[in-house]
Amino acid sequence: MHSESRRVLARGRRAVRGAVMVALCCTASVLIAGTAAHAAADTSDRGAAEGAAKDAADMTSPVGVWRTIDDHTHEAKALIEITRDPSGALTGHILTGLGRNHHPDKRCTACTDERKDQPMQGLTIIRHLRQNGDLWEGGEILDPENGKTYHCRLQLADHGEHLIVRGYLGVPLLGRSQTWIRDTAPDPTARR
């Protein structure tokens, strides 16, 4: 009787294993068929998905157009375009002044280097920044109002919508920060 119980239990286990295997095979077939149908349906939307992924990737870099804010009036002051140069370093230049700061003929009379008397529009104000973790640093930023250059550090905030720009002498503790806002207008220069 004892061996008979063992045989019944063994048959029961085999039956349960078989049922589990059938269930797993059916589930896998449904998943595979569903994935194939989903992939076929997504083929037409591939371009849109790739565009969205590219936009998301762009939000992880300071490359783009940024609106600066005046420290005193708290109004938009200028549009700065940050690009990556051939060496991989970030460079930023003034696209245009905004509102009462829009003076296309204004020049950097306070600059003391090769930028002296150069037009503000197109003037390079950020140079030589390289990525170091979630910071971009090791370069400089020019304050075109007084012609002074400072060490510079950039850090993205708010999922890439804001850029914390820190200019400092010596160590980052001895400086000041501004928050720039990413400008996503199709033609940023139309905002003058």
Domain boundaries, the chain: 2-56, 62-191
Q: Is the pLDDT of residue 32 over 50?
A: no
pLDDT at residue 172, as a whole number:
85
Read off the tokens for 125: 């104000």
Q: Is the pLDDT of residue 30 over 70?
A: no
**33-58: per-residue pLDDT in tens?**
333 333 333 433 433 333 333 344 47
pLDDT at residue 147, as a whole number:
95
pLDDT at residue 131, as a whole number:
96
Residues 140, 175 contacting (CB under 8 angstroms): no
Residues 63, 82 contacting (CB under 8 angstroms): yes
Q: Is the pLDDT of residue 22 over 50?
A: no
Determine the 3-state secondary structure of 55 from DSSP.
Answer: helix
Q: Is the pLDDT of residue 184 over 80?
A: yes
**Which of 26-40, 119-133, 163-177 is predicted least confidently?**
26-40
What is the mean pLDDT of the segment spanning 87-92? 96
Q: Is the pLDDT of residue 27 over 90?
A: no
What is the mean pLDDT of the segment spanning 128-140? 96
Q: Is the pLDDT of residue 107 over 80?
A: yes
CATH code, residues 62-191: 2.40.128.520
Element holding 21 (H helix, E strand)? helix 2-42
Q: Which of the pair, 3 or 69, is modelled with greater confidence?
A: 69
Residues 47, 35 contacting (CB under 8 angstroms): no
